Amino acid sequence: MAETLILNDTIKVDPMEDQIKIHVDSASIVSLPKDIQKFYVENLYQIGWGRTSNREQLLKVLDEAYLDGINNSKYNTEKVHQFHKDYQRLSDLDKIQADFLFTKAFFNASKDLYNGVQNPRRLYNDWDMFPKELNTAATMQLALSRGTIQTTFDSLRSPHKIYVNLKNKLSNLYQLNQDTIKAVTAKYKLNDTVPELVNIKKHLNFLSYYPDSLSKDFINNEGVVTALKQVQKNSKLVENGVADKKTIEAILKEEATVKEKLVVNLERWRWFPRDLGDNYILINIADYSLVAVKSGDTVKQHKVIVGTTGRKTPILSSVLKTIVINPTWTVPPTILKNDLTPKASANLSYFSNARFTIYDKSTGKVVAPENWDSSKASSYRYVQKAGVGNTLGRIKFMFDNNHAVYLHDTPNKANFNRAQRSLSSGCIRVEDPFDLAQFVFDIQQNEISQEEIKKILDSQNTKNITTSKEAVHIHQLYWTIQVDNNGKITQFRDVYKFDNDLYTKLQ
């Protein structure tokens, strides 16, 4: 990547040596964006797109943007094509205008591919995904000089395998010709030769209902009958295994849904960090799942419970700082307002039953439950004692973030058996959290024994263990479809209903 992408201003690129020398007047660039002006200044006020091969590569990149789920209409591709076609006949002044257009297209397309078309921080107040640094002017200058426009855009693309597989699947969808999939109107039975089935099988294979090795024949075998019945079941149709009109419509409708998910999740992976770290904990909120990765190898998998739709778990990346055994719990403002105050107002014994200590914020003194004033609930601090029954369970994982969230245990283990686990107030509850802690201890080379942990737990005293020796990254992310290396689709519930709105914004 270092050979094709220049991320900051620390590396300077020499001005291009181009066959066509046309001077760009400094006054003509003042209306251009600052980063584009920077390119022409550093290129000594010479045009950059004189080489035919560079323009051809750019056109190919723009034309194929849809394969990454990107709408290329804002790149002014029709005019870019026309300028390229007429280039040899253009006046110098027109070549300068063409150069500006090519440069704008490069800048816009590179930004979209590298950081995403949309800015998640403008769409959501709880997505802490920040633009990745890129010196676009120097990167373009290097690509033009070397003639490596296509290679540069390949480097701009997210390197994650999930992204690569999503892109490949979207490409496969565009290769399917929906006009060729037709309902079978004639009656047929098992093992009959049915010409329409060869294309129907391709679509069933795309949707992961049917294996690829069997998708090239016309035979109505048991596999295709089973696949069609599954489509019908999912669409609440009569399960007869026949490729009738309603079943074909259901296949095409499902493909449209898959396309939407592929497009929006490609965008999300453009937002996500390109480097997750050597050792990291990765949560997919939509899948209620957590994986722990050590040196590129997934070594642990855990179920998780995430925030409700009203108290969403934020999307963020951070670094684990502290593991707390026997944590206390200080009630955050939202839970104070929506949960604690109504419960305590109904029954003051709630404080003692839940083992809360009340502190006056202004004096720091303990307040007896009978002296608590519900009308001034926010003037107190509420701390739940460590130990059995604590809302956070017996362990929590702390990391810097803007939302006061963390990973933690829970006393309510039965909820991990539920299929839909958006139940928390924003923090993430982890099944078998001490197993996850052991993953961290192993990376940190912390030789704390199970016996020592048991002693700490039995004491009910709070113990903080710092994790500063070796970085363990935390990534709370959100994606609703995944494709394995064989093209098999796994879809996840769009817990927070993000997909449709994002898809609309990307069109």
Q: Which two tokens stand for residue 412?
A: 């309510």
What is the 8-class DSSP label of residue 338?
I
**Catalytic residue (choose from 203, 403, 427, 473):** 427
Residue written as token pair 């769009």: 494
Rounded CA gap, 100 and 106, in Å?
10
Pairing status of strand 297-307 against strand 463-466: unpaired
**Catalytic residue (choose from 203, 403, 408, 475):** 408
Sequence-distant (6+) residues with CB within 8 A of 141 are 13, 15, 16, 39, 42, 43, 48
Active site residue 302: no
Q: Which backbone phi and psi does 496 adopt, to 5 degrees?
A: -100, 10
Rounded CA gap, 121 and 318, in Å?
16
In this structure, the number of other CB atoms found within 10 A of the CB of residue 251 comes to 25
Instruction: Tell me the three state secondary structure of residue 462.
Output: coil
Contact in structure between 334 and 328 (CB atoms under 8 Å): no
In this structure, the number of other CB atoms found within 10 A of the CB of residue 114 comes to 21
Buried b / exposed e over 7-24, threshold 16 CB at 10 Å, is: eeeeeebeebebeeeeeb
Distance, CA of 209 to chain centre: 25
Q: Which two tokens stand for residue 104?
A: 């704008």
Cα distances (angstroms) measured from residue 229 to each of 159, 188, 467: 37, 15, 52
> Would you state the torsion angle of the CA atoms of residues 59, 65, 66, 72, taken in this order, to the nearest 10 degrees?
-70
Pairing status of strand 297-307 against strand 289-294: antiparallel
Rounded CA gap, 504 and 14, in Å?
42
Exposed/middle/buried for 366, CB within 10 Å: 0-12, 13-18, 19+? exposed
Reduce the secondary structure of 368-421 to three states and give it as a string: CHHHCCHHHHHHEEEEECCCCCCCCCCEEEEECCCCCCCEECCCCHHHHHCCCC
Active site residue 427: yes
Alpha helices in 272-402 (DSSP H): 333-335, 341-346, 350-353
Active site residues: 408, 427
